[in-house]
Structure 1
């Protein structure tokens, strides 16, 4: 049986969800981030997300993670998961923004040639 491994996730048991006694392959925050990516896919077909909203959506996860790391504060899995969803949406929005302008730049260069 092949084991799914995610390089960027620490997978600490106390920061992960469990289902039927088995630990998720990702921590709560990374689970939220990947779910945020998945939620973004149908949203992109109907809405153009402003870059500032995308950056703002990333801020709660950044604040949660940094205050945990440097302020001796302990978060909980629900907060990690919810801020992870926001971060996933925000990161996908930033990626969409960058991809849009790469395509526009490529079109511009194409028309110059």
Structure 2
């Protein structure tokens, strides 16, 4: 077996990568906490209170991947503030992307029945 094999560990439930509220540890890591908080923005995108084009949407998602990948490949340690911030951006970007794709599919279906 190759000893140089990539060894990825997940950070959920690691105290140093989790947030705490009133002495209780969150069930997911700081990054995923930010992502889940970002999911709350979905109605804003779905009902056109706020819109982003696909490039801004992807730009919001990218920092999370950069942070995670650089931690794995360059043995860099992120901090919880950066994890929550990039996670929040990814959650918002993800919901914008879901709305963009959903609206596109909906419009395509409406065109079929015209």
TM tier, shorter chain?
0.7 to 0.9
Structure 2 spans left out of the alignment, 5+ residues: 1-9
TM, length-normalised to structure 1: 0.83
Structure 1 spans left out of the alignment, 5+ residues: 1-7
Cα distance, 1:49 vs structure 2 = 1.4
1: CA distance, partners of 2:72 / 2:43: 31
| Aligned with 2:104 (options 101, 104, 109) | 101
Structure 1 counterpart of 2:72: 69
Q: How many residues align?
A: 104
Cα distance, 1:102 vs structure 2 = 0.5
TM, length-normalised to structure 2: 0.83
Superposed CA RMSD: 1.8
Q: Does 1:29 align with 2:26?
A: no
Runs of 4+ aligned residues of structure 1 deviating over 4 Å after TM superposition are none
